[in-house]
Structure 1
Amino acid sequence: MEEVDLREEIDLREIFQIIRKRLYLVIIIPLLAVMASGVVSYFFMEPLYKAPTTLMLWKDVEMDQTNMRASDLDFNRKLASTYREIARSRLVAEQTIEKAGLNMSPERLSGMIEVSSVGDTEIISISATYQDPETAAFLANIIADVFKDLVPEMINIDNVQIIDRAIPPNNPVAPRPGLNMAVAGFLGLMVAVGLVFLLEYLDDTIKTPEEVHKILGLNVLSAIPEMGERD
């Protein structure tokens, strides 16, 4: 047991020595990775803004909160998945492009849109992501309007009400420089450590008496010390 512990201690010591011998790589590579990630995130990546609008499924036609029954709410929740697919449909995208006078394909617009249910409720969130906050809010509101108008035509149920219209967001959702730099630093560290051990593996020179004994099984009787600099 003691022999195993001693061997592990020696192995850990060797690993530490290998890393320390090329410690400059372990420091420089992650630092360069963090700096490069920061420069790209702050100066080359265009910010993206996400604007959500929320809609609620109410009782058919009447929109009377006081007369809403549990069965009505349950029915609306079951319809939520159908409504999400309608909001993501090509038809909604095409009518949004036509209504807003956009110069883009339905596929591109669909890639900017995110539709989701808010928990186990009858509330649906429609979000638009774009390079500027005003356009993001504009797209979200137009899609909500188109969706609200299409539902009665498609399934003969007029039970969609817009709760909150989208407003231009103040802060972008991407890029996230802090996260990008942290990931870049971690990956840079992994690359640096891997490079250190690769260089050690490729280096077949013998530098110390300990390496002579370990590799050749011979004891070093004497060694010539390095000469210091002369005055």
Structure 2
Amino acid sequence: MEKEYEEIELRKLLSVILKKWWIIVLCLVVGTVATYIITTKYIQPVYEARTSLFIGKEKGDIGSISIGDFQLNSKLITDYREIAKSRLVATEVITNLGLNMPISTFRYNLSISTVKDSRLFTIKVKHANAKVATDVANEIATVLVEKVAQIIDVKNVQVIDEALEPSAPIQSNKRKNIAIAGALSIMVGLLIIFIIQLFDHTMKSEEDVERHLGLTVIGVIPKFKGGER
């Protein structure tokens, strides 16, 4: 009996959803259109420029690279990464390029990654302007080479690949945002239907009368259309 009751409730729920399908469609249209407009007009695209640097031997050093040299240079990468993120480098780069950017924003848009088991590391800069991202990445590399020579008194950092101006943004998630908005809109539509059904205490069938009042239905008044009698 309990299983039969659950099947009746499930059929009733599906019937309500099918009758109020327009609510789901309305939420879907509103959600996807709003997301498209917001993503296109109000969310700025983000570009990423990157430059690669290499830690080698100082000019004038002759001979092969020993394991000790490799380990030392691996440790130096950590030092160079922190120097690149320092206020000293940030201030000089911002001044040289005439940027109107606080140091906190500068650091937030800067990331430095190392290539595993190598002496290569990459400087990545994100910005809403592709040219600014490129200029900042290249200027960081230039200033870093100068500061390393001044602070550590070695000249073993060399730029391998200069940053090129990116042609496309990295965060172009328009389709993804619309797909997520569509799924959420459908869920919102279903939620609205469930809430309407939850607060709807009217009786619409003989089963409702028997279930809620415990009375047996002995007759039903048919509904006539128009002037038919």
TM-score calculated relative to the size of structure 1: 0.87
* Deviation of 1:93 (Å): 0.7
Instruction: Report the AA paired with residue 125 of structure 2.
Output: A
1:106 aligns with 2:103: yes
The answer on 1:91 being equivalent to 2:85 is no
Q: Which residue of 2 aligns with 1:29?
A: 27
Q: 1:75: how far off?
A: 2.4
In structure 1, distance between residues paired with 2:3 and 2:120: 61
Q: Does 1:193 align with 2:203?
A: no
Q: Distance in 2 between matches of 1:152 and 1:210?
A: 87
Question: What secondary structure sits across from 1:197 in the alignment?
Answer: helix
Preserved contact between residue 63 and residue 159 of structure 1 (Cα < 8 Å)? no
* Structure 1 vs Structure 2 CA RMSD: 2.4
Deviation (angstroms), 1:77: 2.2
Runs of 4+ displaced beyond 6 Å: 63-66
**Aligned pairs, number:** 228
1:46·1:175 contact (CA, 8 Å) conserved in 2? no
TM-score computed with the length of structure 2 as normaliser: 0.87
Distance 1:148 1:167 in 2: 19
Runs of at least 5 residues in structure 1 that lack an aligned partner in the other structure = none
Distance 1:38 1:5, change over 3 A: same
Partner of 1:46: 44
Post-superposition shift, 1:74? 2.7
Structure 2 equivalent of residue 142 of structure 1 = 139
* TM-superposed deviation, 1:46: 2.2
Cα deviation for residue 196 of structure 1 reads 1.4
Q: Which amino acid aligns with 2:37?
A: V
From the superposition, tell whether residues 75 and 207 of structure 1 become closer, same or farther in structure 2 (CA, over 3 Å).
same
The 3-state SS of whatever aligns with 1:67 is: coil
The equivalent residue for 1:124 is 121
Indicate the percent of aligned positions where both proteins have the same amino acid. 32
Question: Structure 2 CA distance, aligned partners of 1:63 and 1:110?
Answer: 35
Q: Within 2, Cα distance between the matches of 1:210 and 1:66?
A: 93
Per the alignment, residue 202 of structure 2 pairs with: 205
Distance 2:7 2:19 in 1: 18
Q: CA-to-partner distance for each residue in 1:118-142, whole Å, 9 max, x for gaps?
A: 3443222111222221221111101
Where do 5+ consecutive residues of structure 2 fail to align?
none
